[in-house]
Each structure stands twice: as C-alpha cells, then as structure tokens.
Chains A and B, each alone.
Chain A
Amino acid sequence: MTAVRREQLLSYAVLGVFAVIALYPVLSIVLLAMHKRSDLVTGFAIPDSLNFGTFKDAWELGGFDRGLLNSFIVAASVSVVTAVLSTLAGYAFGAMRFRGSDALFYLLLLGLIFPYEATVIPLYYVFRDVGLTDTYWALILPQIGLSVPFGTFWMRAFFRTSPGSLVEASRLDGASSFVTLWRVLLPQAWPAITTMIVLVFMWTWNEFLLALVMIQSDELRTAPLGLALFANANRSQDPTLTAAAAVLVALPVVIVYVFLQRSFIRGMFAGAVKE
C-alpha cells in the first residue's frame, strides 16, 4: 500500500468517525421516535418494527400543527423583510459613498455580536406595556432588528464586489440608484440573497429565548418552545413521544438544509471571509 493510499484510508477513517459522532445523536432520536410507545427504550436501539404512530400522536397531542405553522409564519416574515431591508442597506454601504458610512457600519456590526439576552428584558416589558406580548409582532419585529446586521453585512460584501463598470454604465445612462439596483444588480444578487434568506430563516426558526419570554398562550407558541414544554411534561413517561416531537420540530430546517446545503455552506463562508 502506498503512502498516499494509506493516507487516504486514514483520512476516510477519521472522517468516518467524526461523521458518526455528528450523526449519532440525531439518529438516536429518530430511531427512538419510531419505537412503539409501550416499548421501554433507553438509548440507542433499533426498533423491531418501524412505527410512525408516535409522529401522529405527537402532532396531535402537542399541538405541533400550530407550533410549526407559527414558526413558519415568524421565520418567513422575518427572513423576507430582513432580505429586503438588508439588500437596500447593503447596497448603500457597498456601492455608495457617504458621510458616516464607516461609523454607521460599525454601529450595525455591533448587532452581530451582542447577545439576545441583553435585549430581551426591555423588549418584553415595553411590549407588555403596549399590549404586544403574545402576538406574532412580538417575535417578528425584534428578530428583524436583530437579523438586519448580518443581512446588511452579507449584502454589502456582495455589492462591494460587483463589477463597478456595470454600475457606472447604468449611472451614465441616467438611471437612478434604485433602477440600477433593480435592473442591473439584483439579478446577479439572487444567489447571495437566497442564501441569506435561508440562513435567517434557519436562525429564526430555531430561536428559543425570545419565544420563551414573549409567548404565554398555547396558540402562538413556536415549535421549539412547544417542544421544550412538551418534553418537560412527557420526557420521563413517554420518551418515544418526546422524540417524535423533537424530530417534527427539527425536520423542516434539516430538509431545507439537505437540499440546499451546497450553496448554503459555500455561500455562507465565501461571504463571511470576504472582507
């Protein structure tokens, strides 16, 4: 066996081990969910028969139809609005020169790193005062505000590397900045925009703390919040049911990820590092 071949095998082995580690927890939950509810299961066990009944039960008992719908409404709204706002702002930062652009950009960048925990306290109490807790707005509005820094950063990176010649040509044809954006740059920006939408969608879908604080009623619970409460109540008596619920909650994002993972990953880091 040549050294190269040996190295190759070693690489595959190492990768294989890590892949198993990455997949194991996820798989164990999926398998757990497929056991019958009466099985006394702990840990990793292959069910003797595939049983999808638990998914149906979790769906009904945990109200996850509403939960998934709520999560979708919030995540979709946030990601679309963020995309629009970020594209506009990113365009300004990336393709225009104006006073204070650096300062403003740094101000926005701060939003990339500060924790939700710092904002959630006043958000809750102010929203409560104006009667907006326990509404979709309570989840959508703050998350737009918190996602815009990333989105703008992302789109700015894109616009900075757009060929200046195109922009200039459009300018000299007398087009306004907006038309330039709309007609010339946007068609090329689609991949970047789509990646951003998917990322923001994923992060918003998975958001937990904000929902925990803002949403008290059953109807408006997002899926992760519903899952946490459901798990607390059912974890010990009914592990298979809890596992099924967990799968239901994680599934949508994972599906989106599986189909789009190529552009997902590629786009995500091409943009982040392109300083």
Chain B
Amino acid sequence: MPVALAIAVAGCGGTPGEDKPKDQAAGTPADQVKTDGFEDLGPVTLNVVSSEGSGGPREAIKTLTKQFEEKYPNVTVKVSYRDFPSWIKQVKLAAASDSPPDVFAGNQGYQVDGELVKAGLILPLDQYAKAYGWTDSFTPETLQQFEWSDDGKTFGEGTLWGVAQTGQSTGVFANLAKLREAGIDPASLKTFDDFDAALAKLRKTLPADEPVIALGNKDQYGAIHMWGMVQGAYTPAQDVRDWIFQKDGATFDSPGNLESLEKIKEWADKGYLGKGDSFNARDDAEAASAFGKGEGAFMLGGNWNASIAKDGLGEDAGFFNMPPGESGDTAAIGSASVPIHISAKTKQPDLAAAYLDFITGPDAGQAFVDNQLVPAVTDTTAEPGDPLGKEVKAGWDQLVKDGGLTLYPDWSSPTMLQTMGQTFQEMLAGRMSPQDVIDRTQKDWEEYHQQLAGS
C-alpha cells in the first residue's frame, strides 16, 4: 500500500517548474509613466527591503524614506532592514513568493540579479530611466552593472533593471594616532611597496597580540575585499572586469593574481592579520567595530564602514586608496552599491519608481554625505562636510578617474561567492595554496562559462 501511494504521488509530480508560466514583467508602457501626482492615490503602502543593516547606509535610507513620506503624506513606506549576507541568501525566495516586497535590494552579478532577470521577477526600468533622466545622472560604467539581456544570460549590456544609491569602494582606513606613534606619515606611502614596508614596521612596534590590520572574515568576504586592493597593485583593472563579465578568453590564472594571493598569505603568515587565524572567527562588522574601538593600525575594507570608523576614532580616522603598484593607477574592488529593484508583481510600479528615484537621485546626495557615503550620481551638489567623508570621496573619485573600479569577483557566477569565500578562508589558515585557490576559482568560472554558452 505505501508503495502504491508513493507511485501515485510521484506520478502527479511531473517536471518541476513546468506548469508555472514565466512571470510576465508588466510595468507601465513608456509613454504612460507617471512621475508625480501620487497624492491622489489615497492611502497606500510601499513595502521595501533593504540590505543595509547597519551604520551609515541604514541611516541614509531612514532619512530619505522619511523625506519621501513627508512629500507624499498618504504614502507609508515600510522598510525592513536586513544584513547583507543573510539577505542575498533570501532575496530570490522573497522575490518569488506570492507577495514580494515592492522594492528590494538585489546584487550585481549572476548569483542574484541574473537569476532575478531570468525568472522574470523584476521590472525592466528603461522607461523610468528616460522619464527621470537616470542616463544623465549615472555614468555608463555604473549603469552597465545593472544591465542584462532579457534572458538573464548576458551581463553588462541590454535593458536596465535597477539603480543604486552610493559608490562603494574599498581602501585603507588608518588609525592616524597609531601611525603617528610609529613614525609613519600616510602621505609618504606612495606605492604599494611603501605600504608593505609600513606594515612590517608596525608589526614591530605594535603589541604582539594586536593585529596590524583589523580583519573579520567569518562571513567569507572580508578577506576578498582586502585582497582586491592588493590585486589592484599587480593586475590591470580591465582584465579583472573582463573576467567578471564572463568574456571569452578571460582567466583568473594570471601571474598578477598569483602574486597578490601570495602577498596576503605572506601577511597572514607574518602575523599582520592577528594571532593564528582568529580573523576567521569574527565577521566584517565585528572587525569594523573593533577597529573603531582602537584595534589595529589599518582596516582594509569598504567605505560603507566609514561612519563606524568616524564614530569610534573621531579625528584619528583617515582613509586613502591602496597606493598603486607599478602601473601607477589605483585599482581596488569597488562598484556602485547594490541595485534596487522593483518587483514584477508590484501593484504600484510608478510609485515604486518614484521612490527609487527619490532615494538615488541627485537630491539624495546630502543624506549620503552626511553619513560619510559617496553618492553614485555624478550631478549632485552635496559635498562631504567632515575630513573623513572628504577623504572617502576623494578615494572614490580617484578610482573612477583611473578606471580602477574592479567590481566584485563573486558577480562572475552563481556559486562564486561560496567558492572564493571558502578557498580564501582555507588559504589564509594555511590549508590551501594560492595556486589551489586560483585553480578552484577558475574551474568554477569555466563551468558556468560553458553553461552560459551551451544553453
């Protein structure tokens, strides 16, 4: 009897996903897009999920959302703040549910955005880009990060699917007091080799159990960000980008990558990153928090942690790009912040687009600079008021000028975040060699490359 039951149930199984028609991305036709007059909608609620769980970015969204609600008193915007690592695991499930949030954050690359586009879960935004002038406010390199072909296979060209709020880059946060104590002048660090030498000097002057660089790699991305700016000293930025966009012939197996991986392994072995592999036991936010409380001389990470540094170290917080390698051009991991999408199932596409424009456009700039963030748009009048904010913006501008934003390596395949996250943890703990990391990473890339070509 149980067997019969089993067969019966399996029989009505059928191929999974078969009878679900691909969700039609609706949206409003280009000539009917509404950009104002939302007061007449009556009481309406917009559900938003943000992946900025803490710090400056969260404050900025809070401020902007409040301003939006003041502009349209009949609109209630409910924002749910998640932490980024958890959210990118949940976003596809949430988007595919029956009542997804109207507006939510995604992530550039094949793991999230590519899948969202492929499954028809988000609205194309070309008509809104035209109506709101996004093509004027954002650089083509920025918009490229949100462009996909309609089948979600080609990344970096095609229709626009999202916009972002800030420019994120990674660089060196410095505890200026500790540098002074060690007799190091940040302005004198002009090349990567200078920086490397400064690390050695600090290792001698700092107490033995204090790391020179505050790192938290438990959530498996802190080390990658740190490495990215070292990679920038050894590899041309364009090569990195080509590889991320899955261009034919691009490869991860290059001398520059090998040298940069060996370099950070050397840092771990020399104890710059802390005792043993203690950095694998705490996450990025914890490390930032510790740096803000005075641990370590440097933190090599994202500028989204600027407000934590400022709150903790005050005037002793400094920021600069990793000094360049032989090419003389700065390069580091960086891109626009996460794209914000509109759900294909939303009942208020125009209102959602208006909110999107409000929190990303030139007028939002002030909320960003107030929180030591860099606006992604180029036409904002807001200027950072505090020294750290100025340094952060200067870093971003320099990277843009040098063409040195190398985006994020995990964009290159749906499983890359896990592949690189795990291998970096193992390499820094001495369980894997740099060449192994390269081989595993390239293997992941190749498998997906073939999948894209074949299907």
| A and B touch in their complex, CB below 8 angstroms | yes
Residues of A in contact with B (beta carbons under 8 Å apart):
40, 100, 103, 107, 124-125, 128-129, 131, 133-134, 213, 216-218, 229, 232-237
- Would you call B285 an interface residue if the criterion is a C-beta within 8 Å of the partner chain's C-beta atoms? yes
Q: State whether A236 touches B97 (Cβ < 8 A).
A: no
- Would you call B149 an interface residue if the criterion is a C-beta within 8 Å of the partner chain's C-beta atoms? no
List of B residues within 8 angstroms of A107 by Cβ: 2
Q: State whether B1 touches A100 (Cβ < 8 A).
A: yes
Task: Name the contact of A237 in the complex, choosing from B86, B99, B100, B289 (C-beta under 8 A).
Answer: B289
B7 to chain A, nearest CB (A): 15
Q: State whether A129 touches B93 (Cβ < 8 A).
A: no
List of A residues within 8 angstroms of B2 by Cβ: 103, 107
List of A residues within 8 angstroms of B96 by Cβ: 128
* 18 residue pairs A–B, Cβ–Cβ below 8 Å: A103-B1, A103-B2, A107-B2, A124-B93, A125-B16, A133-B98, A134-B97, A213-B93, A216-B93, A216-B100, A229-B86, A232-B85, A233-B53, A233-B54, A233-B82, A233-B83, A236-B282, A237-B289
A235 to B85, CA, bound (A): 14
Provided the pairs A125-B16, A128-B98, A216-B93 are in contact, do residues A232 and B86 lie with their beta carbons within 8 angstroms? Answer: yes
Q: State whether A236 touches B286 (Cβ < 8 A).
A: yes
List of B residues within 8 angstroms of A133 by Cβ: 97-98
List of A residues within 8 angstroms of B86 by Cβ: 229, 232
Q: State whether A229 touches B82 (Cβ < 8 A).
A: yes
List of A residues within 8 angstroms of B82 by Cβ: 229, 233
Other A-B pairs, 12, CB within 8 Å; known A124-B93, A232-B53, A233-B53 = A100-B1, A103-B2, A125-B16, A129-B20, A134-B98, A134-B99, A213-B93, A232-B86, A233-B83, A236-B283, A236-B286, A237-B285
A67 to chain B, nearest CB (A): 13
Task: Name the contact of A233 in the complex, choosing from B1, B81, B93 (C-beta under 8 A).
Answer: B81
A-B contact count (CB 8 A): 48
List of A residues within 8 angstroms of B90 by Cβ: 216
A40 to B90, CA, bound (A): 32
Provided the pairs A133-B98, A134-B99 are in contact, do residues A218 and B285 lie with their beta carbons within 8 angstroms? Answer: no
List of A residues within 8 angstroms of B35 by Cβ: none
- Would you call B80 an interface residue if the criterion is a C-beta within 8 Å of the partner chain's C-beta atoms? yes
- Would you call B281 an interface residue if the criterion is a C-beta within 8 Å of the partner chain's C-beta atoms? no
A107 to B1, CA, bound (A): 10
- Please name the residue on chain A nearest to B86 by beta carbon: A232
A269 to chain B, nearest CB (A): 30
A232 to B81, CA, bound (A): 11
List of B residues within 8 angstroms of A124 by Cβ: 93
Provided the pairs A125-B16, A128-B97, A236-B289 are in contact, do residues A218 and B1 lie with their beta carbons within 8 angstroms? Answer: no
- Please name the residue on chain B nearest to A110 by beta carbon: B2
List of B residues within 8 angstroms of A233 by Cβ: 53-54, 81-83
- Would you call B94 an interface residue if the criterion is a C-beta within 8 Å of the partner chain's C-beta atoms? yes
Provided the pairs A232-B83, A233-B82, A236-B283 are in contact, do residues A216 and B97 lie with their beta carbons within 8 angstroms? Answer: yes
List of B residues within 8 angstroms of A40 by Cβ: 293
List of B residues within 8 angstroms of A100 by Cβ: 1
A125 to B97, CA, bound (A): 10
Which residues, 246 to 283 on B, are CB-close (under 8 Å) to A?
282-283
A235 to B286, CA, bound (A): 8
Residues of B in contact with A (beta carbons under 8 Å apart):
1-2, 16, 20, 53-54, 78, 80-83, 85-86, 90, 93-94, 96-100, 282-283, 285-286, 289, 293
Most central of A216, A232, A235 by chain B CB within 10 Å:
A216
A191 to chain B, nearest CB (A): 34
A40 to B93, CA, bound (A): 37
- Please name the residue on chain B nearest to A213 by beta carbon: B93
A133 to B97, CA, bound (A): 7
Q: 10 closest Cβ contacts across the A-B interface?
A: A236-B286, A216-B94, A233-B53, A131-B98, A236-B285, A233-B83, A232-B83, A236-B289, A218-B80, A216-B97
Q: State whether B98 touches A237 (Cβ < 8 A).
A: no
List of B residues within 8 angstroms of A125 by Cβ: 16
List of A residues within 8 angstroms of B97 by Cβ: 128, 133-134, 216
List of A residues within 8 angstroms of B85 by Cβ: 232
- Please name the residue on chain A nearest to B58 by beta carbon: A233
A85 to B82, CA, bound (A): 39
List of B residues within 8 angstroms of A128 by Cβ: 96-98
B341 to chain A, nearest CB (A): 15
A233 to B99, CA, bound (A): 24
List of B residues within 8 angstroms of A213 by Cβ: 93
List of B residues within 8 angstroms of A234 by Cβ: 54
A81 to B93, CA, bound (A): 29
A216 to B86, CA, bound (A): 12
A231 to B244, CA, bound (A): 33
A250 to chain B, nearest CB (A): 21
- Please name the residue on chain B nearest to A216 by beta carbon: B94
List of A residues within 8 angstroms of B282 by Cβ: 236
A85 to chain B, nearest CB (A): 19
Provided the pairs A229-B86, A233-B54 are in contact, do residues A217 and B81 lie with their beta carbons within 8 angstroms? Answer: no
List of B residues within 8 angstroms of A232 by Cβ: 53, 83, 85-86
List of A residues within 8 angstroms of B285 by Cβ: 236-237
A98 to B94, CA, bound (A): 47
A124 to B80, CA, bound (A): 22
- Please name the residue on chain B nearest to A238 by beta carbon: B54
B186 to chain A, nearest CB (A): 27
A97 to chain B, nearest CB (A): 18
- Please name the residue on chain A nearest to B292 by beta carbon: A237
A145 to chain B, nearest CB (A): 14
Most central of B53, B78, B97, B283 by chain A CB within 10 Å:
B97
B402 to chain A, nearest CB (A): 33
List of A residues within 8 angstroms of B99 by Cβ: 134, 217
A235 to B100, CA, bound (A): 27
A110 to chain B, nearest CB (A): 9
A234 to B286, CA, bound (A): 10
- Please name the residue on chain B nearest to A129 by beta carbon: B20
List of A residues within 8 angstroms of B98 by Cβ: 128, 131, 133-134
A155 to B326, CA, bound (A): 77
A84 to B101, CA, bound (A): 38
B19 to chain A, nearest CB (A): 8
A252 to B53, CA, bound (A): 28
List of B residues within 8 angstroms of A236 by Cβ: 282-283, 285-286, 289
A141 to B160, CA, bound (A): 41
A40 to B294, CA, bound (A): 13
- Please name the residue on chain B nearest to A103 by beta carbon: B1
- Please name the residue on chain B nearest to A134 by beta carbon: B97
A77 to chain B, nearest CB (A): 21
